[in-house]
């Protein structure tokens, strides 16, 4: 123990040596953590972003518009109005100091609904092309399906292809189709019919409207969700005599619904045929830059001539096949149209708990153009 009396000159040194201490190191500023970001679509292009984080003293937000940058905001909320449809990245930084922060990015799609636009706003094609004549069209402007279409009813068993040859889960009914406001709408819904747990519709122009070659445009809005399988396609008129795949099949568009690999935003175009006694197919696909095929109308097209079939989405070519080889004779014969929404099947798989019903495919027009 240091208790003896010392001269005053030694007192300061004594206090430092026996009872004094060095100043404490400054307490470090804790890093932010547990950043939570919630995005709410208000309508008319407006979004509200709420954010919280542990140890955050302030926040910076960027809404991802061209030329935008991170800006400091007061409080835990920020709002923004977008002027254009598209996909955007909202970036939120939670700061405890200027150099200490955590970040979260939320990707959003500003589609027709979120922008407060007419749901029918989307890509359109003209009703004339240089070098082509418009030879047939259905604009679905009335209140009923035209005589050019016939409903196929049932589950395919009466044709010897139960489940329509693909283990599909729907029973086709006429009642699942309506024509109003310039669109033909096919509705798929959970409803018992026959031995099936879902109903939908399938329409064909067989024996009424069939075509060889030309440009075909179909403007439509797709359903979405796991197990949904909408299709706009064609079969050879000879199917009744020689069967499938000998008659040929041209799939103008198919979608196999689901969120995996953005299935709801992917278009498939395919042909099927008989190649010297063997089944053959050749397909391609393309994916939307953002969003899903249910967000707004798109135009699905083929340009079909003596040499090629080309597939287009909104006038952009994404797939082509040379049909001049001799084993592709099927594609130089008349084909009729089919429109349907299947539920389940070997390709898309079955609906699950994430699939919301009812689902709709809405068709605005079908147009066929041919060279004179």
Residue positions annotated with a catalytic role: 249, 254
Say if CB 330 and CB 203 are below 8 A apart. Answer: no
Q: Burial of 210 by CB count in 10 Å (0-12 exposed, 13-18 middle, 19+ buried)?
A: middle
Residues pairing with 36 in the sheet: 52
Distances in Å between the alpha carbon of 79 and those of 107, 125, 217? 15, 36, 40
Question: What element of type H or E holds 242?
Answer: helix 239-242
Say if CB 124 and CB 314 are below 8 A apart. Answer: no
**CB atoms near residue 226 (< 10 Å):** 21
At 247, give phi and psi (nearest 5°).
Answer: -75, -20
How far apart are the C-alpha atoms of 215 and 200, rounded to whole Å? 28
List Cβ neighbours of 342 (8 Å cut-off, separation of 6 or more): 164, 166, 168, 170, 200, 228, 229, 230, 231, 348
> Which residue shows structure tokens 């060889």?
212
> Which residue shows structure tokens 């100043």?
23
Say if CB 68 and CB 78 are below 8 A apart. Answer: no
Question: What element of type H or E holds 227?
Answer: none
Residues pairing with 251 in the sheet: 233, 270
SS (H, E, C) 77-89: EEEEECCCCEEEE
Edge to edge, what strands does the sheet with 86-95 contain? Answer: 71-73, 58-62, 86-95, 101-110
> 311 is written with which tokens?
């597939």
Say if CB 369 and CB 215 are below 8 A apart. Answer: yes
Task: Specify the pairing of strand 177-180 against strand 183-193.
Answer: antiparallel
């Amino acid at each position: 123990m240091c208790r003896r009396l010392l001269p005053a000159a030694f007192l300061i040194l004594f206090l430092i040596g026996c009872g004094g201490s060095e100043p404490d190191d400054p307490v470090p500023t804790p890093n932010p953590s547990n950043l939570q970001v919630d995005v709410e679509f208000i309508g008319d292009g407006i979004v509200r972003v709420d954010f919280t984080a542990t140890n955050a003293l302030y926040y910076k937000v960027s809404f991802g518009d061209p030329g935008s940058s991170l800006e400091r905001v007061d409080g835990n909320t920020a709002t923004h109005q977008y002027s254009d449809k598209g996909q955007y990245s909202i970036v939120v930084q939670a700061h405890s100091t200027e150099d200490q922060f955590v970040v979260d990015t939320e990707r959003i799609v500003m589609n027709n609904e979120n922008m407060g636009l007419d749901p029918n706003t989307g890509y359109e094609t003209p009703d004339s092309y240089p070098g082509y004549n418009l030879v047939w069209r259905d604009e679905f402007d009335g209140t009923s399906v035209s005589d050019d279409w016939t409903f196929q009813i049932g589950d395919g068993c009466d044709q010897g292809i139960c489940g329509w040859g693909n283990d599909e889960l729907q029973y086709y009914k006429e009642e699942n189709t309506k024509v109003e406001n310039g669109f033909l709408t096919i509705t798929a819904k959970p409803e018992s019919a026959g031995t099936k747990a879902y109903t939908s519709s399938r329409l064909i122009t067989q024996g009424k409207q069939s075509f060889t070659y030309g440009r075909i445009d179909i403007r439509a809005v797709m359903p979405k969700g796991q197990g949904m399988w909408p299709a706009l396609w064609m079969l050879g008129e000879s199917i009744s005599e020689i069967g499938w795949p000998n008659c040929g099949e041209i799939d103008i568009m198919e979608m196999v619904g689901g969120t995996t690999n953005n299935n709801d935003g992917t278009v498939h175009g395919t042909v099927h045929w008989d190649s010297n006694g063997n089944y053959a197919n050749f397909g391609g696909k393309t994916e939307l830059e953002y969003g899903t095929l249910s967000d707004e109308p798109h135009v699905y097209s083929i340009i079909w001539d003596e040499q090629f079939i080309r597939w287009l989405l909104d006038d952009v070519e994404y797939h082509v096949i040379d049909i001049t080889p001799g084993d592709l004779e099927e594609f130089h014969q008349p084909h009729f149209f089919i429109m349907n929404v299947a539920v389940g099947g070997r390709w898309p798989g079955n609906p699950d708990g994430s699939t919301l019903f009812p689902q709709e495919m809405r068709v605005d027009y079908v147009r066929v153009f041919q060279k004179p």
